[in-house]
Amino acid sequence: MMLWAGVLVAGGVGAVLRFLVDRTVSRRAARAFPFGTLAVNLSGAVLLGLVSGLTLSPQVGLLVGTALIGSYTTFSTWMLETQRLAEERQFVPAALNIGVSVVLGLAAAALGQQLAGWL
């Protein structure tokens, strides 16, 4: 029961953090490109790489990796924003959103795992 309560709390915290980071970055960037979602997903990839590289119990890994970071990052928003860019015939930004997110996301996850190795 405590694990489920932890998932609920961690998931809520992750969702609120996503909202705050996305909003802050989007306001500062003030462009049509979804920089807020990119920042959230890249920072989430670093965190998930870090968590995966640490020796954690399965329960802690579930709470942090799935509940907290899983609710912080957002695949669905990334795809919706990419689709909207394409609908608006902004094909280059749409393609860049996919390419940059994948390439930098993989690099961010690797960085997180490298950071875990140093701890």
77: nearest Cα among 32, 46, 36, 25 = 36
Instruction: Count Cα neighbours of 28 within 13 Å in the Cβ-side half-sphere.
Output: 9
Q: CA angle 11-15-21, nearest 5°?
A: 140
Ligand-binding annotation for 6, yes or no, is no
CA distance 25 to 54: 29
Can you list the alpha helix ranges (DSSP code H) found in 1-119? Answer: 2-29, 35-53, 58-61, 70-72, 75-87, 91-118
Ligand-binding annotation for 55, yes or no, is no
Binding-site residues, in ranges, read 70, 73
Binding-site residues for Na(+), in ranges, read 70, 73
